[in-house]
A and B are shown apart, each in its own frame.
Chain A
């Protein structure tokens, strides 16, 4: 492996999943024989270690609890408020309808008539 090749693919060959075993071996051999490329590889190894410690530190981070609270609050607003509002609108509209009132009136009159009939029926029976 030449210095140019090492610079292009060799210095991160150890950590690279795409490198073949032959490439890794050639890179390792070159890094031992060339001080300049060896220093480059050492620099990458130091960088990799620092990346590892950053990765470890951020592995267990999560969104703060307030995000869940906000979302749940919003969920309730999105899904439950319209349902309550819809029920209120339908009720208000129904109460405004003359047909509703006349039906209600007819219903109560019918009940009264029915009761009377029943009473008179009872009287007749006696």
Chain B
């Protein structure tokens, strides 16, 4: 199963209900409207995933553009018998994200990336006063910094299961690994995240024990993959 489709309020026409593979066939014959419809259907979920994984709006934008460029140039890469188009596009996005993370230097200060709203280009709407906005801004920056600090495999589990609220089964299918692996990665990812946030909050270091267990068990995760 692929990532959830983005719904646009008041935009439920017959064309929206048309199947992805039909639209792709039309797009492959040069139908721009069909291609645009496919893009609008899938871009938000893919962009959100790329943004949450990379922490960079610039990288997420590049990745999404790259994915749809591939679909435009070589639509035959998608095989309808092997799954949904959403799942296929997610897989391609995931590969691009992992490649991007491999190339990236380990530490990227969030503040350097964007200057509207948070360091990630998100405008905070909920907070009403400047003081509340500043506080919320700080909270979001902190938790995102902690998420981005996680090793990629743990980050992916946290992004899929905590931020996107996907089930273990869905996450396992999307990542292409057993459910047990998702479960253990998520547990360790949570522990590392908690330890990191405790440090950033300046609170007691109680959470570190669980996180250290997570680090020590990282080898087991690698063994799971083999």
- Contact surface of A with B, Cβ cutoff 8 Å: 7-9, 11-12, 16-18, 36, 39-40, 43-44, 46-48, 50-51, 53-59, 61-64, 67-68, 70-72, 74-76, 78-80, 83
Contacts and interface: CB of A to CB of B under 8 A. Distances in A.
Interface centre among B60, B158, B167, B207 (most CB of A within 10 A): B207
Contact of A50 (B6, B64, B139): B139
Interface residues of B, number: 58
Interface in B191-226: 193-194, 197-198, 201, 203-204, 206-207, 209-210, 213
B187 A12 contact: yes
Given A17-B167, A61-B44, A62-B43, A40 B162 contact: no
A54 B143 contact: yes
Interface string B149-163: 000000000100011
Contact of B142 (A50, A67, A75): A50
Given A53-B139, A67-B61, A78 B72 contact: yes
A58 B119 CA distance: 13
B72 A7 contact: no
Given A67-B61, A74-B72, A44 B190 contact: yes
Interface stretch (B12-20, B31-39, B80-88): B31-39
Contact of A58 (B46, B163, B207): B163
B210 A11 contact: yes
Contacts of A51: 143, 147, 158, 162-163, 193
Contacts of B144: 54
A53 B72 contact: no
15 contacts: A17-B167, A43-B203, A47-B143, A50-B142, A53-B140, A55-B164, A57-B122, A61-B122, A62-B48, A68-B40, A70-B65, A71-B35, A71-B68, A71-B69, A71-B72
A56 B168 CA distance: 20
A58 B122 contact: yes
Contact of A18 (B61, B168, B190, B207): B168
B136 interface: yes
A40 B197 CA distance: 12
